[in-house]
C-alpha cells in the first residue's frame, strides 16, 4: 500500500530551489516533506534556510541537518509547505490538529507561496467535519468555553495523553469546535478573531496556492 503522506511530501520537496527560505510545516505529513528536503540537501548540495512552525519540526530539521531560523530572523519566505486537516474546492482549509496553528499562520502570512500536502481523505465538499481549533490564553478559557456552548459550537478543551489540558508551544490552550459544517467560514473567522482571549483560529482562508494530494498511487496537484 502506498504511503500517501510520504508520496506528497516527496513531491512537494521537488518545488524547493537552491537559495530559498522555506517554511517547514508541522504534523505527520509535513514530517515526510522535511525528510525529503533533507535528502535533497544531502544529495544535491541544496542550500536553503528552513523556518519551522513548531518545536517538534525544529528538532526534526536540526536532526536532519537543515539550517533553521526563526520567523523573526528572516525578512520573508519564498515558500511554505505544510499539511492540512481539511480543505475544500476553494483551497480554504482547517489546520491546527497538531497544535501549531499560531506559528503556522504567521509563517503562512509571510510566505510568497503556500503548498499544502495531504492524503486523499483531507479533501471535503464543505469544511467543518474536522473540529476547528481555537487557540486561547489559559486565563479566561472557561469563559470562552461557555460562550461557545451558548453559541451551539459544541466546544471541547483539548487534552493531552494524560488527560490534562493540552498546552501549545506558546503556553496556550486549544478549544476544538465540533461544528460538523461551516456554512460561512469568513464570517466565523471574523467572529472568532475578535473574541477577547482568542489568540488565533484554525481557519486558513484564501492562503494556499496549491494542494498536493495523493490519489490512485500518484501525487495530484490542485490549484485555484
- 140 annotated to a ligand binding site: no
CB atoms within 10 A of CB 189: 18
- 95 annotated to a ligand binding site: yes
Radius of gyration of the chain (CA): 17
- 26 annotated to a ligand binding site: yes
- 90 annotated to a ligand binding site: no
Cα separation, 117 vs 82, whole angstroms: 6
- 27 annotated to a ligand binding site: yes
Query: Bridge-partner residues for 159, per DSSP?
Result: 165
**Is residue 104 among the annotated active site residues?**
yes
Smallest Cα–Cα separation from 155: which of 180, 179, 188?
A: 179
Q: Sheet holding 203-204: strands in order across? A: 86-87, 93-94, 203-204
CB atoms within 10 A of CB 108: 21
Q: Are 59 and 114 in contact (CB under 8 A)?
A: no
- 84 annotated to a ligand binding site: yes
3-state secondary structure of 146: helix
Cα separation, 15 vs 11, whole angstroms: 8
- 25 annotated to a ligand binding site: no
- 197 annotated to a ligand binding site: no
Considering the candidates 86, 104, 135, 200, report the single residue annotated as catalytic: 104
- 83 annotated to a ligand binding site: yes
- 82 annotated to a ligand binding site: yes
As annotated, the active-site residues are: 104
> Which residues does the annotation place in the binding site?
26-29, 82-85, 95-98, 122
> Which residues does the annotation place in the binding site for substrate?
26-29, 82-85, 95-98, 122
Amino acid at each position: 500500500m502506498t504511503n500517501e503522506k510520504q508520496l506528497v511530501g516527496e513531491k512537494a520537496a521537488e518545488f524547493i530551489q537552491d537559495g530559498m527560505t522555506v517554511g517547514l510545516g508541522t504534523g505527520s505529513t509535513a514530517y515526510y516533506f522535511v525528510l525529503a528536503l533533507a535528502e535533497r540537501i544531502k544529495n544535491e548540495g541544496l542550500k536553503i534556510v528552513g523556518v519551522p512552525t513548531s518545536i517538534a519540526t525544529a528538532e526534526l530539521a536540526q536532526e536532519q541537518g537543515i539550517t533553521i531560523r526563526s520567523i523573526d530572523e528572516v525578512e520573508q519566505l519564498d515558500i511554505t509547505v505544510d499539511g492540512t486537516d481539511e480543505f475544500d474546492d476553494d483551497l480554504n482549509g482547517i489546520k491546527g490538529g497538531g497544535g501549531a496553528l499560531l506559528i503556522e499562520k504567521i509563517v503562512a502570512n509571510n510566505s510568497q507561496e503556500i503548498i499544502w500536502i495531504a492524503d486523499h481523505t483531507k479533501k471535503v465538499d464543505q469544511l467543518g467535519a474536522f473540529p476547528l481549533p481555537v487557540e486561547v490564553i489559559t486565563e479566561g478559557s472557561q469563559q470562552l468555553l461557555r460562550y461557545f456552548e451558548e453559541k451551539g459550537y459544541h466546544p471541547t478543551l483539548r487534552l493531552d495523553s494524560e488527560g490534562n489540558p493540552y498546552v501549545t508551544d506558546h503556553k496556550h490552550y486549544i478549544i476544538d469546535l465540533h461544528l460538523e459544517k461551516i456554512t460561512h467560514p469568513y464570517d466565523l473567522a471574523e467572529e472568532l478573531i475578535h473574541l477577547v482571549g482568542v489568540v488565533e483560529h484554525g481557519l486558513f482562508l484564501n492562503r494556499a496556492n496549491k494542494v498536493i494530494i495523493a490519489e490512485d498511487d500518484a501525487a495530484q496537484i490542485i490549484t485555484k
